[in-house]
Structure 1
Amino acid sequence: MKRNVRKRRRPLAVKAVAASAALAIGGGGLLWANFYASAHESGNRAAGADRTKAATARIVTISCPDVSQRLKDVPSAVQGEIARELAGLDRQTTAFYQRLAAASEAQATDPAFVQNSIIGPLQRSRTTVLQRIPVKITQAGGTAPGDLLDLARCTAVPADQKDTGGQQDGGGGQADGGDRQSGVGGQAGNGPTAADFVDITKVRPNIRAKAANGRNASTGTFTTRCGVNANKLYNSDNVIVAPGVTNGAHHTHDYVGNQGIDAFSDNSNFLQGATSCRNKNDRSSYYWPVLRVQDGTKEFDHDQPGGGREGNVGRILTPKQVEIKYVGNRNGKVVPMPQFLRIITGDAKTTTNGLANANANWSCTGFEDRVQLTEQYPLCPRGSNVVRTFAFQSCWDGKNADSANHRTHVAFTDRNGKCANGFKAIPQLTMRLVYKVDRPVIVNGQVKNPYAVDGFPEQLHKPATDHDDFISITTGNLARKIANCVNRGQRCA
């Protein structure tokens, strides 16, 4: 557990960086010419005009299926191997992203370049991995999906196609000058764009009234104070989804709570880590992608994997406030969280997967009870701060601390606040991160000094890709104390 990175304290070097170099990609599988022929079809255009446009079009990103979400029966004996195979798919994406970013001229002059040099080779690489995965699963006694090879095929997204993540703003209008723009913008060339921002004062209220608590509701709260990562503890690992894999996240995380978490941590040594929490029995790990301002600052990771090498650039912002609170269930009592329970909320790949698992909310102080956004970053008025909030899954299957796809062992309640059959209510972890951010300026459809959440390079820094990770690690019977506090309707800290 020695790979945690603390930011070296040194003067910030600021340099303007051209935003035209890096283009984000994912995987491949569609014939280039055929894709563009269909992408630009129009009843009142000549086919020749479409072909001409296809020859000069460039990629914004390539969207590949997320293999991990299809794997639900992975025997424990090979879970580590499968996690490393999945991490290998992400490394392939990054490698071909970098190859494309370095070949903008070839892409512009040769309409076959992307298919022959990027998409085709990437698809073949993905196919090789997807042939190995089901063999390993079935040899260990599990059942692999029969159509994994279909997931080698990906969708190319051209620069003049509408942003994949643009949210309707509730009828309140686009952000200042917020016409959708071509390209992907951003300091590193992989986002965000002007369309990813909206003036929160122009968004209609979208918060629904809370349903009433039931007779047996657990109405207490337990607050744990773990700091704001003032000690600059960062890494680009993700021990939940890519154990044993350096830079498995491909983006940098803030860490509070347990100070010994990296890719090489596991149940056998989680308890050895110190904690930033005031309650020293709380050694849980709370970590999330850092928020950056793309102002040209060369951060400590500007030339490192997970940082600038993968399009995560600019000045890392330390939250001015981090609120971690466990709340109850509005229909009944909760059971304690099991030791080493892992929960991921949100989805780092919504640009690929869609919004089904998106679960981050963006707002501004003074507006949180009126407006919450998922697919756009808020432009806050003077004196207001940017807020990220997360409400984790609060139903547990009663048996497993994790699952093969890191989702099916936990779930959200239904609309009535009830857990599905076979699931038990646990204290719901909620997190609120507050940042002081200078308002980005949008001029002529271009955003200057935008802020954005770190992410996989092909995900274009879309706000919907925000997510939060948690591992429950407690001593001194703390998990039971949290549940008892919540069940009794107390306010504990």
Structure 2
Amino acid sequence: MPRSARTPRTSRKKRSSLANRAVAASAALILGGGGLVAVNVYASAGEGRPSAAPPTRAQNVGRQMSTIDCPDAGIELREVPEQARGEVDRELAAMDTQITDAYRQFADRKEQISQDPGLAENAVLGPLRSKRTASLDRIAIAIGRVGERPTGIESLAGCSLRPDDNAPGNPGGTGGSGDSGSGDTGDGNDTGTGGNGNDGGQGGGNGGGNGGQAGNGPQASDFVDIQSVQPNVDRPRQRRGASRGTFTTDCGRNENGKFNPDNVIVAPGVSNGAHHMHDYIGNQANDAFATDDVLANGATTCRNQGDRSTYYWPVLRLQNGQDEADVDADGGGRDQNVGEIQTPSEVTLKFVGSPVGRVTAMPRFLRIITGDAKAFTNGDANANASWSCTGFEDRQLRDKYPICPDGSQVVRTFAFQSCWDGRNTDSANHRTHVAFARADGRCPKGFRAIPQLVQRIVYDVPPGPGFAVDSFPEQLHKPITDHGDFINVFDQRLMQKMVRCINDGRRCR
């Protein structure tokens, strides 16, 4: 079974060397559930945005186009017949590769396109639209063979160029100027760990405003001084009958250096399906080819061997001009993810209860993705990761990286969905089988409360701008694209212990 492997090496921090991986000719995206496909093309606010159209010359005046913006077909395909799943999977993930390839072409010709916007349509957007149209047509045919062919799916083909409004040269951009600014902090999310970032940014930074990834982001304006942010965490009040206990599992910090650019949840069977590198702790068998049986028998870094779950997230890199071992590898330099991978100084995996009642056990092999790897272009409806600094964790950011004062470390927090539909371990878009609790702490109708995974990752990085998470190339390493993935592989005995501890109000390990 092919698997990415890295051999530990030592530099500023403990890291490891990545074996080069072959680029897959096609890719797969697991789509759970049966029945006919339901296509909701941005029908409701919060689920997407209007399908893109090519920009006009007038739209380009005074604005530097920064990336490619395409509708996310994977979110819009809610259900897929079982018999069509494999073919649909391959086409959906191939569309991610199409965007990655088109972004490379755009980046290579960015200056020419700024002078001649028509070149974007002829050389980048037109060919991309044709490829996407063909993939979407194949998806419709595959579904039509075993059910009702979906209509309107072709509207997902269009893509456009869009600016990064925070970039130098665009209205509102502040990066690279050396000046600092701040803005108001928004409200926290329902879990109390979100919070919108500041509109203002922190100047200075990398490359005279060109971004820490040689023009691929982030901008200095993607950072904000945490001390300028007002406290914004607002947790639901615990009611009588709340499950107040906690269960903590210790799975290390990825000291052994397991990385790969796969994502077995959204792109099973596809090497480099993520186009960015992931940190893995827990189950050591996780790669694109890992089945439930493989995970059930995999070794684990968790101290309690009853936890063979897999926990993974995009790596964080220093943007210091130093090459990592994956500089010429898929998911690394080939996908415009460069810089030294940082090993966390601390990782905490804590499962907590519901503020309004008891929790029930998670089903084994339940898959949860929190956050959205494409939130920069998709919008923030599914963004959920938050950023802060030690000593300031009552101040959380979603769309900015924090600048921490001396003696304080960077903190990433993921509060995963805490409600389950009671039936499915996955869903077509990997989201609808789980949900967040409402503002009052209750689960939506038809969902039941499960232990909520709260994941806290701490890094000792130099103060100031100069780090970023890995991302799809067109997402420009924006903090809002941060995300975490979890597959439950607790054995039944340990899961029942977790539930009892949480419901009984105890603190267990």
TM-score (norm 2): 0.83
Unaligned runs of 5+ in 1: 13-27, 41-52, 442-449
Q: 1:77, 1:189 → 2: CA distance?
A: 43
Tell me which residue corresponds to 1:18: none
Q: 1:95 to 1:38 in 2, by over 3 A?
A: closer
Match of 1:469 among 485, 497, 502: 485
* Equivalent position SS for 2:453: strand
Q: 1:183 to 1:116 in 2, by over 3 A?
A: farther
Please say if residues 188 and 312 of structure 1, whose CA atoms lie closer than 8 Å, have aligned partners that are also in contact.
no
2:68 partner amino acid: I
Deviations along 1:396-420, one digit per CA (max 9) or x if unpaired, are 0100000000000000111111112
**2:305 matched to 1:280?**
yes
Q: 1:327, 1:176 → 2: CA distance?
A: 35
Matched ranges for 1:123-162 at <5 A: 123-141=129-147, 144=150, 146-158=151-163, 160-162=169-171
Deviation larger for 112-121 or 130-139: 130-139
Q: 2:163, 2:248 → 1: CA distance?
A: 46
* Equivalent position SS for 2:279: strand
Match of 2:213 among 172, 175, 187: 187
Tell me which residue corresponds to 1:87: 93
Shift of 1:5: 2.1
Q: 1:173, 1:74 → 2: CA distance?
A: 39
Please say if residues 74 and 143 of structure 1, whose CA atoms lie closer than 8 Å, have aligned partners that are also in contact.
no
Q: 1:62, 1:476 → 2: CA distance?
A: 45
Q: 2:503, 2:87 → 1: CA distance?
A: 40
* Equivalent position SS for 1:263: coil
Q: 1:117, 1:227 → 2: CA distance?
A: 47
**2:72 matched to 1:66?**
yes
Shift of 1:139: 2.3
**2:262 matched to 1:237?**
yes
Please say if residues 285 and 472 of structure 1, whose CA atoms lie closer than 8 Å, have aligned partners that are also in contact.
yes
Please say if residues 371 and 383 of structure 2, whose CA atoms lie closer than 8 Å, have aligned partners that are also in contact.
yes
Tell me which residue corresponds to 2:32: none
Shift of 1:476: 5.1
Q: 1:456, 1:211 → 2: CA distance?
A: 34
Unaligned runs of 5+ in 2: 13-50, 176-181, 187-197
Matched ranges for 1:301-380 at <5 A: 301-369=326-394, 371-380=395-404
Match of 2:185 among 170, 186, 193: 170
Tell me which residue corresponds to 2:229: 203
Please say if residues 191 and 462 of structure 1, whose CA atoms lie closer than 8 Å, have aligned partners that are also in contact.
yes
Q: 1:316, 1:281 → 2: CA distance?
A: 29
Please say if residues 169 and 203 of structure 1, whose CA atoms lie closer than 8 Å, have aligned partners that are also in contact.
yes
Please say if residues 209 and 220 of structure 2, whose CA atoms lie closer than 8 Å, have aligned partners that are also in contact.
no
Tell me which residue corresponds to 2:4: 4
Q: 1:483 to 1:96 in 2, by over 3 A?
A: same
Shift of 1:104: 4.3
Tell me which residue corresponds to 2:57: 36
Please say if residues 161 and 182 of structure 1, whose CA atoms lie closer than 8 Å, have aligned partners that are also in contact.
no
2:453 partner amino acid: L
Deviations along 1:196-229, one digit per CA (max 9) or x if unpaired, are 0001111222222x33212111111000000000
Deviations along 1:54-107, one digit per CA (max 9) or x if unpaired, are xxx653011111111111111233323322211100111111122233334543
Q: 1:79 to 1:183 in 2, by over 3 A?
A: farther
2:451 partner amino acid: P
Tell me which residue corresponds to 2:453: 429
Deviation larger for 153-162 or 120-129: 153-162
Please say if residues 188 and 313 of structure 1, whose CA atoms lie closer than 8 Å, have aligned partners that are also in contact.
no
Q: 1:308, 1:183 → 2: CA distance?
A: 20
1:424 partner amino acid: R
Q: 2:277, 2:303 → 1: CA distance?
A: 25
Q: 1:183 to 1:379 in 2, by over 3 A?
A: closer
Q: 1:421, 1:415 → 2: CA distance?
A: 14
Please say if residues 313 and 484 of structure 2, whose CA atoms lie closer than 8 Å, have aligned partners that are also in contact.
yes
2:364 partner amino acid: Q
Q: 1:168 to 1:128 in 2, by over 3 A?
A: farther
**2:103 matched to 1:78?**
no
Please say if residues 67 and 151 of structure 1, whose CA atoms lie closer than 8 Å, have aligned partners that are also in contact.
yes
Shift of 1:165: 13
Tell me which residue corresponds to 1:216: 241
Q: 1:230, 1:156 → 2: CA distance?
A: 40
Q: 1:8, 1:97 → 2: CA distance?
A: 32
**2:462 matched to 1:459?**
no
| Percent of pairs with identical residues | 53
Please say if residues 288 and 468 of structure 1, whose CA atoms lie closer than 8 Å, have aligned partners that are also in contact.
yes
Deviation larger for 384-393 or 72-81: 72-81
Deviations along 1:445-481, one digit per CA (max 9) or x if unpaired, are xxxxx20011000001110000000000122522222
* Equivalent position SS for 1:393: coil
Q: 1:109 to 1:358 in 2, by over 3 A?
A: closer
Deviations along 1:1-36, one digit per CA (max 9) or x if unpaired, are 441322452769xxxxxxxxxxxxxxx97445xx22
* Equivalent position SS for 2:280: strand
